[in-house]
Amino acid sequence: EKGGYPHFMLKEIFEQPEALRKTVAPRIKDGLPDLQVEAFTDELIRSVGKIHIVACGTASYAGMIGKCALEKLVRVPAEVCIASEFRYNDPILAPDDLVIVISQSGETADTLAALRLAKEKGIHTMAIVNVVGSSIAREADSIIYTWAGPEIAVASTKAYTVQMSVMYLIALKMALVRGTLTEEEVRRYCEIIQAMPEKQQDILAQSDTCQYFASRFQNAEHLFYIGRGLDYALSMEGSLKLKEISYIHSEAYAAGELKHGTISLITDHVPVVAVATQEHIYEKTISNIKEVTTRGAKVLLVVNDRFEVKDDIADYILRLPTTEDVLMPLLAVIPLQLFAYYTAVLRGCDVDKPRNLAKSVTVE
């Protein structure tokens, strides 16, 4: 049932191009986004004031990528709330707000409660869910299914990728209706997203390199992930993946924030994974890398191949195929997943069933 892979997690990492294809293909018609959600009318899209994205764990990190995409492409304010916080914090919701909940299982207790709260307040709710007919899917006003297929490993991988892709499609649809992008621009983005599975495949072909990097970092007790903007959002997901399955303590930090305290933790025993895929902040992240290498940290840099990186900037460099900056997370997540996976395997961990964790958290 693992299709020849040693673990479900690895199988699911390799299934990402296919999951992306299946999720995106039915939602692009004549080159433009067509979400096939009746209730998400153009009128509703035009009237949205603010978007609240509510989810737990990895789904919330997909939401962070979505927030960045919505703010960049649609210029609509968006915020991400962890469901267990949202439900008890008396959230400020206006009638023209939109609540988007994201959940692989569709059964996460806190996410379901958050959805119910928003509905009670008369806010339009949209759910991005992987399991057909699950509680969240049944109760939301609008539902967009991700077609990742069953995800068995506790660590979420392919579900995250397709959640991001749906967030991009929502942003593109909204940008088209609200006129923040031209039709031509939206078409271009759609084309690029449709071509993304092949680029993902190219990265998967480098899995041996990720395994090698993992072997260099496997004995760390603590590790930092740094990045800015979308790269910071992605760092959070990379860090969660590593913690969850390898039990190495790690933290994701906005690269510019290190010198406000955390850099005191950096030593030659605390390696750093740096993510730099965004052109407008690339040089800034490079400066932050220099700050940590000066303090002895070994650095693995995951970088957009378009940038001219000097080989001596980091100890290990993984170059990613390039695409539109805003879409880079669809590619950059893969080496982070593979790095976490191989690190856990090398440490002898139970990758698919990490201690203390359940696949679906149906109690709060």
What residues are labeled active site? 359
* Site membership for ligand M6R, residue 56 (CB under 6 A): yes
# residues near ligand M6R by CB under 6 A: 16
Q: Are 154 and 107 in contact (CB under 8 A)?
A: no
Closest-CA residue to 345 (of 18, 1, 6): 6
242 binds ligand M6R (CB under 6 A): no
Contacts of ligand M6R in 331-360 (CB under 6 A): 360
Residue 245 Cβ vs ligand M6R, minimum distance, rounded to whole Å: 8
Q: Structure tokens of 200?
A: 């993902």
Residue 155 binds ligand M6R, judged by CB under 6 A: yes
Does 144 contact ligand M6R by CB under 6 A? no
Should residue 239 be labelled a site residue for ligand M6R when binding is judged by CB under 6 A?
Answer: no
Segment lying near ligand M6R (by CB under 6 A), choices 31-39, 84-92, 98-106, 171-179: 98-106
Smallest distance from the beta carbon of 208 to ligand M6R, in angstroms? 24
User: CA 57, CA 101: separation in Å to the nearest integer?
Assistant: 12
**CA atoms in the 13 A half-sphere facing the CB of 301:** 28
Asked if 270 is part of the footprint of ligand M6R (rule: CB under 6 A), the reply reads: no
Residue 111 Cβ, how far from ligand M6R at the closest point, in Å? Answer: 5
Minimum CB separation of residue 207 from ligand M6R in Å reads: 19
Question: What 3 state SS string does 268-336 have?
Answer: CCCCEEEEECCHHHHHHHHHHHHHHHHCCCCEEEEEECCCCCCHHHCCEEEEECCCCHHHCHHHHHHHH
Q: What is the DSSP letter of 235?
A: H
Told to check if 103 binds ligand M6R by CB under 6 A, we report yes
The residue count for the chain: 364
Is 244 among the residues that bind ligand M6R (CB under 6 A)? yes
| Residues facing residue 29 across a β-bridge | 32
Nearest to 268 by CA among 285, 286, 244, 293: 293
Site for ligand M6R in 107-126 (CB under 6 A): 108, 111
12 contacts ligand M6R (rule: CB under 6 A): no
| Piece of 11-19, 32-40, 151-159, 167-175 that binds ligand M6R (CB under 6 A) | 151-159
Task: Indicate the SS3 state at residue 160.
Answer: helix
**Residues contributing to the site for ligand M6R (CB under 6 A):** 56-59, 103-105, 108, 111, 154-156, 240, 244, 360-361
